[in-house]
Structures are given as structure tokens and as C-alpha cells.
């Protein structure tokens, strides 16, 4: 990421960005905290006006936050007000992942499995006996795990924006399509030159945080570089894919909550095992593939019971921010199959 672009974004953050406006937008949604397994869990709980709406728990990733769902909460909870069908409505729960945002302070031992168990308990406390799960990045791991730990209550799982490297087996290569071969090549390139942040956060989360927690520009750069790398490749700049105010709201939450270390610690806790499901849970799964996703169907079929698969030419890793319309439509389409 060029230093000139960082200077441009820093200048905008200093002189034009209005945190209070975005704080008010966030505060327009009902927010709560609870304690699960001795960990403070912050979450948004947006009830639909439709009484028979399906409960849906949505999980963000790193470097994300609950703020990335601002533009999808309305269409998901109240589709009739956005030109949609009220039968597609959801009651949406969006927790801050432990160590992120307002789910702090963070204890040790919070890996993906433990988060999935906490989400199951959260939905139980909210009185939801039957619900769906959705997520990208970290959420693309936690949501399928929910299908394993709470399969008697999870009716379906929808994921996007996974960064796991395709687990190619010997017999797969000859059957790959040209598109899948390009995705595999991109994944190998990412593994070679694009995982430095993960190595640092997975091995020395405290050390890297000393610089990030001491410098707002350092914290912004650490996050902005991921938007530079992971947003829609057809867009020249991150702000062409994601509204700059959205991006800075995300960075501001990390800075104001001082969560550079605790959010990085999630990588450390999952270092030994990423805790991805090794076999399908049997829960119906929908997968939305955006241009930056290294998704290969035959590989994912071994880990998920896939009943819905969509591929899009627009968007990127941060689908809820880059292509909220496409993501909302795909979530609705998938859950029509399992409601």
C-alpha cells in the first residue's frame, strides 16, 4: 500500500470524518452485553417487525466489526420497507467476536470452537430454538462450527469471504476448471506473500500490538492494508469499493477500544488448529463466492453439506460493505430453502 494513499486517508480521518454521526447510526440499533463462559459478549439484537421472522446470528471477522453490517440490517430485518418480501425477514443478532470491539477484556483460550459454543448459548438465552448462522472471514469458520455444536437448532449456514487455503487432494487437480485453477494460483500467492500479518498475529500478538495501540496511524495502516489487498480487484482504491467513512468507522472502533492485541490473539488461539470442520455437519449450507474468494466447490463439498452456491462478478472479501445488495439477496435465497 503506497504511503501517499495512507496520508490521504489519515488526512480525511483528521479533518472530515465524523465519528459522532457514525456512532449515532450504530446506537440506532439495540445493543446489549452479557457474560458467557466468563467472557463479556457485546451484541446487536435487531428484531424484525415480522413476528414469524427467522432468527439469524451473523459473525464478522478481522479486521471487521459489527459496524460492517450497518447496511444489511435494515433489508434483512424489514424487507418490506426495502422492496422485498416480508416472508424473507430475519431477527438479526450480531455479536462482537471476543477480543474485538466491545467484547473485552478477553480471557485466554477463545478459539473458533469456543466462540461457536458461546454463540449457541447466546441464542439459547435469547429464546431462539430454531435459527440460522451467517458469516464471513472468522464468521466463515465459526458459523459452520455452530452447525456442529448446535445442529439440533441450526437450520442452515450461509458463508462468504473465507480465506482458508483450498485443501487440494491429488485427484482434484485434473478436474479443476480454469476459474478454479486461477483461484488456486491466487491462493498460493496469498500463502507466499500475503500472510505476514497472520504470522505476526498468530505468534507475537502482544508484540505487534505495542506499536498499533500507541499510534492511531499505525492501527489504521494495519487495517487499511487489508482493504487495499482484499477488496474488489476491479476497483482501483479501497474507497472505490467501500465508503471511506465505513472503513474509518471500523478502524475507529479498533482504536477507541484498544483491541489491537486482543483481536490479534484470536490468530494465536487458533494457531495449532484453525478448527475448521473436517466433515459436513449435515446442516444445509449456502456459499456466496466473491471475486477475491479462493473457493473451490469440490474441496468445500468435503467439509460442508452445500445446497446453495452462488458466484458474483462484483464485490470482494468485505461483502457486507462492498456489495450489501448481493449479499442480502443471496442470504434470502438460501434461507428460503430451509425456513
The reported pLDDT for the residue numbered 277 is: 67
d(CA 39, CA 118): 9
Task: Show which residues are catalytic.
Answer: 137, 267, 317
pLDDT per residue over 123-182, tens digit each? Answer: 999 999 999 999 999 999 999 999 999 999 999 999 998 756 667 787 788 888 888 888
pLDDT per residue over 305-327, tens digit each? Answer: 999 999 999 999 999 999 999 99
Q: What is the pTM of this model?
A: 0.96
Domain boundaries, given as residue ranges, for the chain: 3-163+172-337
The reported pLDDT for the residue numbered 120 is: 99
pLDDT per residue over 48-94, tens digit each? Answer: 999 999 999 999 999 999 999 999 999 999 999 999 999 999 999 99
For the domain 3-163+172-337, what is the CATH code? 3.40.50.1820
Instruction: Count other Cβ atoms within 10 Å, centred on residue 270.
Output: 20
pLDDT per residue over 249-293, tens digit each? Answer: 999 999 999 999 999 999 999 987 665 667 788 999 999 999 989
| Total residue length of the chain | 339
Q: Which long-range contacts (CB under 8 A, 24 or more apart) does 17-24 make?
A: 17/244, 17/245, 17/248, 17/252, 18/245, 19/249, 19/252, 22/67, 22/245, 22/249, 22/252
pLDDT per residue over 217-258, tens digit each? Answer: 999 999 999 999 999 999 999 999 999 999 999 999 999 999
Amino acid at each position: 500500500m503506497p504511503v501517499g494513499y495512507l496520508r490521504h486517508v489519515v488526512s480525511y480521518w483528521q479533518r472530515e470524518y465524523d465519528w459522532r454521526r457514525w456512532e449515532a447510526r450504530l446506537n440506532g440499533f439495540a445493543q446489549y452485553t452479557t457474560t458467557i463462559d466468563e467472557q463479556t459478549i457485546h451484541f446487536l439484537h435487531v428484531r424484525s417487525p415480522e413476528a414469524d421472522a427467522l432468527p439469524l446470528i451473523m459473525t464478522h471477522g478481522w479486521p471487521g466489526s459489527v459496524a460492517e453490517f450497518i447496511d444489511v440490517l435494515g433489508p434483512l430485518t424489514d424487507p418490506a420497507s426495502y422492496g422485498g418480501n416480508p416472508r424473507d425477514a430475519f431477527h438479526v443478532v450480531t455479536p462482537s467476536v471476543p477480543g474485538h470491539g466491545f467484547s473485552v477484556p478477553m480471557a485466554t483460550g477463545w478459539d473458533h470452537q469456543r466462540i461457536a459454543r458461546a454463540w449457541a448459548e447466546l441464542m439459547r438465552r435469547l429464546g431462539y430454538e430454531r435459527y440460522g448462522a451467517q458469516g464471513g472471514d472468522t464468521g466463515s469458520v465459526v458459523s459452520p462450527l455452530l452447525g456442529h455444536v448446535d445442529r439440533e437448532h441450526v437450520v442452515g449456514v450461509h458463508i462468504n469471504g473465507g480465506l482458508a487455503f483450498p485443501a487440494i487432494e491429488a485427484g482434484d487437480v485434473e478436474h479443476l476448471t480454469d476459474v478454479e485453477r486461477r483461484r488456486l494460483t491466487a491462493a498460493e500467492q496469498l500463502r507466499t506473500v500475503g500472510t505476514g500479518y497472520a504470522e505476526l498475529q498468530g505468534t507475537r500478538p502482544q508484540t505487534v500490538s505495542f506499536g498499533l495501540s500507541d499510534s492511531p496511524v499505525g492501527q489504521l495502516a494495519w487495517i487499511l492494508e487489508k482493504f487495499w489487498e482484499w477488496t474488489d480487484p476491479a476497483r482501483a482504491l479501497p474507497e472505490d469499493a467501500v465508503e471511506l467513512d465505513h472503513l474509518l468507522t471500523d478502524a475507529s472502533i479498533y482504536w477507541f477500544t484498544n483491541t489491537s492485541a486482543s483481536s490479534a490473539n484470536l490468530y494465536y488461539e487458533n494457531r495449532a488448529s484453525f478448527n475448521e470442520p473436517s466433515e459436513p455437519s449435515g446442516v444445509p449450507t449456502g456459499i456466496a463466492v466473491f471475486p477475491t474468494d479462493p473457493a473451490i466447490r469440490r474441496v468445500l463439498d468435503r467439509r460442508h453439506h452445500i445446497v446453495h452456491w452462488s458466484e458474483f462478478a462484483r464485490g470482494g472479501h468485505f461483502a457486507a460493505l462492498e456489495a450489501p445488495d448481493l449479499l442480502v439477496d443471496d442470504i434470502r435465497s438460501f434461507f428460503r430453502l430451509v425456513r
